[in-house]
Each structure stands twice: as C-alpha cells, then as structure tokens.
C-alpha cells in the first residue's frame, strides 16, 4: 500500500466519522440529517473507492481507460433513472424535498454511482 492509497483510506475514515456524527445529530433531534450529510457520505465512498482503485488507476493502460469509459457509460443510465424517479416522486407528491436537499442527494448519488461502478468494473475486467 503506497502513500496515496493510505491517504485516501485515512480521508475515507475521517469522512465516515464526520457523516456518522451528522447522522447521529439528525437522529437525536428526531429529524432528517443536515443536507451536507449526503455529500460527506459520497466523499467517504469516493475516498474508499479511490483507495481501492489507486494501484490500477495510476497505470495509464487500456484496461483503466475501458473501466473509466464503461463506468461513465453505466453511470449515465443510473443517473437518468435517479432523475426520473425523483421527478415522478416530486410530481406525484410521494416525496417532499426542498431544492437544496434534492440537489445534495443528486450530487451524492452521482458521485457514489460513478465510483462504485468503477470498483465493480475493475473487478469484472
């Protein structure tokens, strides 16, 4: 494990502690967690994924390019599904979210989907 990989792992642990604290604060106040919680959770996922992917991504070969290309390709369809689900949910009044909450959730879903798809595809190829 080289230094960059360790730094990503350490940052992932720090983001895990921060998001856990924010979720705990939301639970203790009997309300939804603060809006930035979703972004911090996504950054935690991103750091753990980059920690895993660093040895493979530091080499600029065809496999890495294929993983990035297909990861972005699959993430596009997942994000389209997220947007459709939120659109239907908001228009049919199934879910009620403020604009800030919706944007934070969509940003977190985008980040998480891209990096998790990279990990899945790196195991596949």
| pLDDT at residue 2 greater than cutoff 90 | no
The pLDDT tens digits of the residues spanning 26-82 come to 999 999 899 899 999 999 999 999 999 998 888 888 989 999 999 999 999 999 999
Q: At residue 88, does pLDDT exceed 90?
A: yes
Mean pLDDT of the chain: 93
Over residues 86-90, mean pLDDT: 95
Question: Can you give the pLDDT at residue 13?
Answer: 97
> 20-52 burial, b if ≥16 CB within 10 A, otherwise e?
eebbeeeeeeeeebebebbbbbbbbbbbbbbbb
What's the pLDDT band for 1 if we cut at 50, 70, 90?
Answer: low
pLDDT more than 90, % of the chain = 82
Neighbouring residues of 60: CB distance < 8 A, sequence distance ≥ 6: none
pTM of the predicted model as reported, rounded to 2 decimal places: 0.89
């Amino acid at each position: 494990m080289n230094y960059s990989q360790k730094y990503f792992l350490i940052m992932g642990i720090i983001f895990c502690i921060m998001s856990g604290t924010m979720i705990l604060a939301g639970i203790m106040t009997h309300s939804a967690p603060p809006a930035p919680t979703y972004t911090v959770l996504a950054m935690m996922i991103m750091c753990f994924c980059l920690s895993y992917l660093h040895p493979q991504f530091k080499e600029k070969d065809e496999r890495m390019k294929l993983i990035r290309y297909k990861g972005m390709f699959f993430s596009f369809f997942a994000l389209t599904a997220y947007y459709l689900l939120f659109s239907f949910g908001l228009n049919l009044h199934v879910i009620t979210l403020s604009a800030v909450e919706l944007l934070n959730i969509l940003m977190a879903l985008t980040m998480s989907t891209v990096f998790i798809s990279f990990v899945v595809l790196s195991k596949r190829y």
